[in-house]
Chain A
């Protein structure tokens, strides 16, 4: 069981907590004990039960059994309001603020300070918000509307709200998934200052470098149960991964050398006002080219323009030497491109549609006979591709809604590999995917490159880029600032190129106050 109690007891303590939904046990025996003044990492594959545990603490779900204590007192939350009143705050990956209200109004929603005649005391509210931001060391205008704030800033607002409620337990559920390097650093600084105020923090992340950088203790979960708790100083990434998957994962990034062939994709002078300019690069058969850079540097925008879902102002895109018409995904597909986008649920697949129709989604034109397309033909075509990618589903007419992120990604990959592409553009191939599936995706990409597929991979995870890519192109503020061969690429030189011009010119067009 997780450790012995420190002096004064744990701030948050859960022991053998169980929760089932219908016949599915989401949590069999979850345990977590967090001391005040500590940043505690909670790690595990998707489906390990972390989110359920968090939702029990947040009052979203009620546990079926087990011990749940806050500061030594037994508690039982029936609603999120109960948990807030008891000093628990949860900061989600994508906070939900009211976009049309000001930052301050969002912080004080439902508990605005009142002045004379029960009117809202705006002056006091703004002053308090400014005090909170100053305490956190961030610069956000308390009067600006929440709309248009970066996800990083939205999280800061949620944290400010938690502090103003004097929360003693803060849980951050994958807060860094959508943040760039600079933003992660700022969040960490805030987290450390909260720890120094003797609050208890729980940090959920798939990124081990962050866990090791920020946290002091780590709890591992697997299959809905507690596995271990240990001090960060006493463990290694390999040990954690082994505990998470229940087996040794020897190599996370198994890119094997492939024979590099002819130029498949040739991009020349691609520009789009305000997004990127003068982007030129090539991808060859059998080559994995990594597009690295900060979130918001323009990497996804470049990929989207190449594939034709977005327009561009100047430049040309060629496949095997012939021009691909702009802004026509259909033409790009015909030229042999495949595009696995960043946002699986919104762009990658039609979530309320069956596995079969999703997988057959691009190739269906070839499946219709004499103008007739039947579900039978779609099933016959989709089945083998779903099987090849080992999609976990009970039947081909199941909707993708209920699937895990990793499984959905397999459906998206099956859909595009079914087109037998010459070039695969893949944006954040393993975001939000558990360790086991992640390794499968990496192995698959490596295997495909070995068979002569050209791959353009966008990734915010540096280890993934360095491990998988034959060549790393670094994008900074819409321009390619470095082209580094696999053997020369190091975390340091990639990060330097990714932040190079930001250091020279701190003013970015959007959210100027953020980078300061």
Chain B
């Protein structure tokens, strides 16, 4: 028995798919503004900053921003749902401490210790996700709590000691150059690109991603449409925990040192980059190409300023100002549009 008939019969109304031409939809976006700014800063630095235009600069740039790039991927999805995960850097610390103790003290093989660290990250994310999605607590409060809790566990495991006893093969892997000596691309970019493809598909080309946006815009309507709001949030926090643990492994191997206080404060850098990339802190808006550009932009600015001899304080002032300006950009653009519209009329 067929009930509602397919749309047919007397020629129904048709609509154009888009109100504006393709170039306007692509170029006049927050994301593209970040990409444009990145290109400007990058090419300016290549022309004007001494030593910026060498393979080493880009190589170290990628090594430095790799953990932020990695964690920014799940963080974008978490923030698009209107939640936040402040515990990511503590999960990195915990995974670092676990890798160190399990390998050096307990004698586990590196793969087993790494796997255990990532499973611990999954568990950390699941705890956050359960409290946020199923108990209904605000993620800001929950992850401020677990930020302290996971860091406490990490420092409790290792105390003040650092474990540096890792096999060379493992320690060198993330810093190896993909295309051989003299090139700028470290091996860590490979897992990053794999995850990037995965998260772009998840957010932009899957039914799951549509639900992520809908939860951020209106979680009640999403629930009424059959989106499983709780499960979606839980999964996102689990992804955040797993990727953070992976970033913790990278951090440990790159610096050759497992410490409980590894990557302290990195969560704020991740969130700053995600917001700079055009993701709305209120949820519902943002795209991964903007976020990746935002992370790289911060990296390029720090690296260029460092080469010019600026101190970390000054670099922070510039990046902080940029972030505040970028948050102001959206209302400012709306204001300009209103003024334009008024002028056109009069």
Contact = CB atoms under 8 A, between A and B. Distances in A.
Contacts of B217: 350-353
Interface in B196-213: 201, 205-207, 209-210, 213
A225 interface: no
B14 A374 contact: no
B15 A386 contact: yes
Nearest to B16: A395
B25 to A, nearest CB: 8
Contacts of B342: 22
B223 A350 contact: no
User: Interface residues of B: mostly helix, strand, loop or mixed?
Assistant: loop
A387 B226 contact: no
Contacts of A353: 213-214, 217
B12 interface: yes
B106 interface: no
A329 B226 contact: yes
Given A23-B345, A364-B207, A372-B201, A421 B224 contact: no
Interface in A386-423: 386-388, 390-391, 393-398, 415, 417, 420-422
B154 to A, nearest CB: 37
A373 interface: yes
A374 B200 CA distance: 12
Interface string B1-41: 11111110000111111110000000000000000000000
Interface string B218-244: 101111111010000000000000000
Nearest to A372: B205
B216 to A, nearest CB: 9
B339 to A, nearest CB: 12
A374 B210 CA distance: 10
Contact of A346 (B7, B13, B218): B218
B194 interface: no
Contacts of A415: 225
Contacts of A372: 201, 205-206
A346 B14 contact: no
A309 interface: yes
A352 B284 contact: yes
A436 B19 CA distance: 27
A333 to B, nearest CB: 5
B23 to A, nearest CB: 15
Interface stretch (A107-115, A174-182, A355-363): A355-363
B336 interface: no
A350 B228 contact: no
Given A23-B345, A373-B206, A390 B13 contact: yes
**Which of A350, A365, A384, A388 has its CB near the most chain B CB atoms (within 10 A)?**
A350
A101 interface: no
Interface in A328-366: 329-330, 332-333, 339, 341, 346-353, 355-357, 361-362, 364-365
Contacts of A347: 220-221, 224
Contacts of B18: 395-397
B19 A387 contact: no
B221 to A, nearest CB: 5
Contacts of A452: 1-3
Contacts of B16: 394-396
B206 A22 contact: no
Nearest to A285: B1
A416 to B, nearest CB: 9
A254 interface: no
Contacts, number: 127
Contact of B210 (A333, A373, A390): A373
A135 to B, nearest CB: 40
A371 B14 contact: no
Interface string B298-342: 000000000000000000000000000000000000000000011
A53 interface: no
Contacts of A349: 221
Select the residue from B209, B210, B222, B226 with max chain A CB neighbours within 10 A: B226
Contact of B14 (A361, A383, A420): A383
Interface in B100-119: none
B243 to A, nearest CB: 20
A393 B15 contact: yes
A379 to B, nearest CB: 4
Contacts of B201: 371-372
B224 A396 contact: no
A34 interface: no
Contacts of B224: 309, 329, 339, 341, 347-348
Contacts of A261: 1
A385 interface: yes
A164 interface: no
Nearest to A397: B18
A368 B17 contact: no
A420 B3 contact: yes
A508 interface: no
Interface string B233-271: 000000000000000000000000000000000000000
A211 interface: no
Given A23-B345, A395-B17, A387 B12 contact: yes
Interface in A256-277: 261
Contacts of B223: 309, 329
Interface in B109-165: none
Contacts of A352: 217-218, 284
A96 interface: no
A364 B17 CA distance: 17
Given A341-B224, A364-B210, A398-B19, A453 B14 contact: no
A451 interface: yes
B201 to A, nearest CB: 7
A184 interface: no
Given A339-B224, A361-B225, A373 B207 contact: yes
Nearest to B222: A350
A365 B19 CA distance: 25
A373 B205 contact: yes
A252 interface: no
A347 B218 CA distance: 8
B16 to A, nearest CB: 5
11 contacts: A329-B223, A379-B17, A383-B15, A384-B14, A390-B12, A394-B16, A395-B15, A422-B1, A448-B4, A451-B2, A452-B1
Interface of B: 1-7, 12-19, 201, 205-207, 209-210, 213-214, 217-218, 220-226, 228, 284, 341-342, 345
Given A373-B205, A395-B18, 10 more contacts: A23-B345, A347-B220, A348-B224, A350-B214, A353-B213, A365-B207, A372-B205, A395-B17, A397-B17, A420-B3
In order of increasing CB-CB distance, the 3 nearest A-B pairs are A387-B12, A384-B7, A388-B7
